[in-house]
Structure formats: C-alpha cells, structure tokens
Amino acid sequence: MCGVVGYIGEKQAWPIILDGQKRLEYRGYDSAGIAIGDGGLELRKIRAVGKTAIAQIRAIAEEEKLKGTYGIGHNRWATHGGKTEENAHPHADCTNEIQVVHNGQVENCVALKKALEGAGHVFTSETDTEVIAHLIESYMVAGANFVEAVRETVKQLRGTFGIVVMHSQIPNTLVAARFGSPLVLGIGESEVFVASDASPIVAHTKEVIYMEDGEMAVLGARGSYRISTFENVQVARSVERINLTVDEIQKSGFPHFMLKEINEQDKVLRDTLAGRLDSYDGLAILGGIRNHEAVLAGATNIIILACGTAYHAGLVGAKMIEDLARIPVRVMFASEFRYSNVAMPEGTVVVAISQSGETYDTLEAVREAKRRGAQAFGIVNVVGSSIARECKRGVYTHAGFEIGVASTKAFVCQLAVMAEIALYLGRACGLSLAEGQRIVAALMSLPHKVEKLLQGLAASKKVEDLAAFLKDTRGMFYIGRDYMYPIALEGALKLKEIAYVHAEGYAAGELKHGPLALIEKDTPCVVLCPSDSLLEKTRLTIRQLKANGAQVIVISSEDLQEVPEFFEVRIPSGGSPVTDAILATIPLQLLAYHMAVKRGHDPDMPRNLAKSVTVE
C-alpha cells in the first residue's frame, strides 16, 4: 500500500528520492518522509503530512541546502495509526541512528512491541514499522553488525514487508529486504536504486533486478550491491531491461492520469490483442500458456480469484468461458477463498486476475489453491510481479503502466484477455469454426470502435454534461443483464471510488425482488441496454423504473431504433457480448471521472485507497 524508494551513488540523493516518491504517490499519499546521509555520522530526517507532503519536504530541503549522496524515502497509506507526522516514515530506534521505511504489514507487531518495551525500548508512533527499527537495535546491542542485525530481524517478522534500512554510523550503506511486498533494484553507472516498483527508477536506468521473497540486498558506494537469502546464501540474480518509458508515467497534457488512461484504451487494446488472434482458424494464440494447453483445456472446473475491479472482469470472463467452452466456472473474492473450504476436485484450475500482480489477498489465494492441488494461471499487467512468478504461466494484459488508483485501461484489457482465454477454451472444446471466426472479428474491430467512441464522447461532452446535472445526487443505481450485470457493478464501484457517491449495481431481473423499494422520484438509474437477445426484457426494466419516477440514463447500442429514456448515450455495437461490455464500460468510467471532478475531488487519489493493495 505504501511506496518506498532509496538511492546511493555520487549524485545528491534527495532530489532523486523525492522525484521517485512523486512517481509512487499512487501507492500512498497521506504522509511522506526522507532520511539523507552525507557520509558523516548523522542523518537528516524530514517528514510531513497530507497530499502536499512531498512539496513540503522539498521546500525544507531546498531551504536547508540539504546535501548527501544516499538516503531513503517513503509515501504512506495509513494502516497502523492515524495520519500524523509521528506515524510518517522513516521510523527510528531509541538512538535515532537506525532509519527504516516499510511497505507491508507486520502481523506480529503487538507481541514484538510488548517484548521490546519490556526490554526498555520507548516507542514514539502507533505504527507496526517502528518495531523493525527497535528490533534491529536490539540485535546490534547484543553484538551483531548492522547487516546481520537486519538479517536476524526479518526472520522474526510475520506478515509482509519490503523494507529499506540505513544507519547513521554505517555510512554509504543501504540494506533492503523483501517478503510479500515488491522491491526492485535499479542498476546505474556508479549508483544503485531501490523502490517498490520501476516507476522511480526508469528516468535514471532501464537495468533492473527484481528481488524475490526471502532475499536481502546490501547496497554500497560506486554502484555495488550484494544479494543473499535471509539465511545468508549468496544469490546470483540476472539483470533485466525494462520497457517502461518516462512518457508513460506523465500526464501528457491531460489534467489527470485517470482521464489519460481512459483515452489510451484503444491503444492498449490493440497491444493486448496484437498477435493473439487467428482470423482464418478462429483461434486465440496465447504464448503464455504454450506447453500448458492440456492443463487448461482439460480443466474439469475453473475458479477465478480476484478482488475489486478484477473480480468484475472475472465475472464477465466466467460467463464467456461457460458460454463458449461449457466448463463450470466459479468466481470468488480472493480474500474469501483463503478462508473457505471450497471443493477442488482433480482437474481444478485457478485463474488469478490482478492489475499489479502484487495484490496480497490474490497472491495468498493462489498459494493456498496450489497447496490444495490446483493448477494456477495468472492474468496480470506487470511483468515479473509476484503473482506472475507464483503462477509461472498465464497471459499478460499489456495495458501499460496504470497510475490512476481507480483502474480503467487495465480493466478493459483484463476483459479482452478473458475473451481470448474463453475463445481458446471454446475452440478446444468443440466451438465451431464459424463462431470462432465471428468472435475473432468482433475482437479485432474493437480497438477502432473504442477509438471512435472516445472521440465522439469527447466531442459531444454528453457525459460531462450529465455529470454536471448529477453531481449533487446522493445515490445512483446501475442495472444490467447477463454480461452487463458485472459492468453495472463496475460502474457503481467507479462512482464510489472517486466521486464518493453511494452507488449499487443490480441484475435487472432482481429489481422486483427488493431494490425497487429504493426507487423514488428522480432517482438516477443507469441502465445498460445493448442490442442483444435480452433487449426486450431490458426495455421492460426501463419502463418499470420510469413508472416509479426514476431518472433513467440508458447506455444503448447505436443501431437501436427506439429506447425510451431520460438521458441516452449511444455506443457502437460490439459484435459479441464481451465487446459490448467493454464498449459500455467507457461512458461509465467517464461519468465517474467527471462527477469526481465536478464534486471537487482528485480522481487520481481517492481517499483511503491505494493502487497496489499489498496488505491483508
């Protein structure tokens, strides 16, 4: 949930670290802090609270003419203790010589803190992280050197952590350790970087090393580094080259990352579909499952594991797999799967969906499923992420770097990948050539239709005008049938996430079983109404809502002749249920975005939320 960054080299550290923290704001932004060393025996620590924390720290560093060639920084997303300067990282030991930044959650912090307090340690924050600093101190008092003290400390921690530690009496040294929370090293010319992901590193080097769980790295002067396990076994880890560019992590003229990422959806869909569709044979070609086709095609049942937006992608994917391949599919919240006794007979395959590939609940659910004998496949966006490595097979979404906390382009790419997998399974399980060709054609035409839709919505400002009309509403309903029901859930989630408006998604057929009691005069109801076999039933739903006084907003296919509504947004006909679902998603994303802006909220940084959920 938090973001950590460290630097050691020959340049001034604090500008590099603060720029890196700015890149990591999507991971946490309620407070920030840095600790900088100049090779002497003192460290300078600066912490601040609020969304302007990084700017506050920068102003202090400039005023003080802060100097130092190594240091650490942190963006916080509060889990233990309130949003105060005392709870901001870095955290120190009793001597104030050890400084720690931490992403994750120390589950046994209460027991550790009690033992340390009993030994005379005094704590100054409410956080779990401070325990780490005091534990390192205790091992050093007992005679361990700095690196060994960190090594012994991480063996005592339960939970997840990506930490970077420095010591005022051990100049030009940073120690990083990872278990469950990502850390990546950046290898430069006479300098080394460490961060929660590659975004703070890409402006300085493209050469990276992804640390594995249970590993430590000791970073030193002139670009030196040494990686070992927690048991002090040396590790030879290959350097990889990342494709991420600085342009991808900039707004490029858009007022917010979310709007930029919505408008990139035609491009990223092209990337996700490129080279994966065979129009002649009506097939999906998925290199990430090559050599594992028999496992996937031989599945007796499939369990999709995901959280939040990815869960909604899973619901759409499940319907498509069952329609095309006739394989039973169950979609579960990953956070619930871990604690349920789900039947998993021989032939069970789990598919994990995660934008970041680091979602803690999903990662642990995959591990639990594998312990129970299931085969695992991943659908993730980040190459080398924890879920990708745990599954070892699957499909990357190629959505590019997504910074907005509320997922947009990653979601539509997840839907596209689920369609590819469903097509692959369908053709393996008897789906006809003609039907396969029809689905391929629909998918291949999708990026152009998305581009056309985005251009039309931008030119007409129809959704923006609707947002202005609805901005003061207290609640909304999103209603869909079949493939559109998960899209209704996703539309409602987006509005809740960034506009802070209560919204609920409902299956249209369920309205009469309770929710209609909530409909009164002028209640805004978004109805998803594609041109499909259930069109007449959806029109009946619209009439029911209007009869109860609702303001009906219809997202309808442009080929429909008549749709009675209060407000209407037309979308291109997708040619298949999943492509219709992707197209219907886009005006819902824009509605949430514009309502957030018109209500005075920052859509990129919704309150209490962070992009990568790496704690339970």
Residues with catalytic annotation? 2, 611
Cα separation, 91 vs 102, in Å, equals 9
Cα separation, 585 vs 368, in Å, equals 32
Query: Which two tokens mark 456?
Result: 């039309």
Closest CA to 566 of 550, 588, 590: 550
Position 366, amino acid = V
* Residue ranges of E strands in 64-213: 70-76, 91-92, 98-106, 159-167, 173-179, 184-187, 192-195, 207-210
User: Is 59 in a helix, a strand, or coil?
Assistant: helix
What is the number of H-type helices and E-type strands within the chain? 18, 26
- Based on its alpha-carbon atoms, the radius of gyration of the chain, rounded to whole angstroms, reads 25
Query: Which two tokens mark 490?
Result: 């996703």
Cα separation, 541 vs 556, in Å, equals 14
Cα separation, 348 vs 165, in Å, equals 42
**Phi–psi pair at 507, nearest 5 degrees:** -75, 130
Say which DSSP state 211 is in.
Answer: P
User: Is 238 in a helix, a strand, or coil?
Assistant: coil
Query: Which two tokens mark 356?
Result: 């970041």
Torsion over CA: 231, 232, 234, 238 (sign): positive
Indicate the helix (H) or strand (E) that contains 336.
Answer: helix 334-337
Tell me if 246 sits within 8 A of 390, measured CB to CB. Answer: no
Cα separation, 371 vs 413, in Å, equals 29
Count other Cβ atoms within 10 Å, centred on residue 522: 10
Helices (H), 520-608: 535-547, 577-598
Pairing of strands 207-210, 240-241: antiparallel
Judge residue 601's burial from the number of C-beta atoms within 10 Å of its C-beta, 0-12 exposed, 13-18 middle, 19 or more buried.
middle
Rounded to 5 degrees, what angle do the CA atoms 494, 498, 503 make?
Answer: 50
Tell me if 147 sits within 8 A of 218, measured CB to CB. Answer: yes
The secondary structure of 144-178 as a DSSP string is --HHHHHHHHHHH--EEEEEEEEETTSTTEEEEEE
Closest CA to 227 of 267, 184, 260, 191: 184
Angle between helices 130-141 and 109-118 (to 10 degrees): 40
Tell me if 426 sits within 8 A of 281, measured CB to CB. Answer: no
Q: What is the largest CA-CA distance in the chain?
A: 81
Judge residue 115's burial from the number of C-beta atoms within 10 Å of its C-beta, 0-12 exposed, 13-18 middle, 19 or more buried.
middle
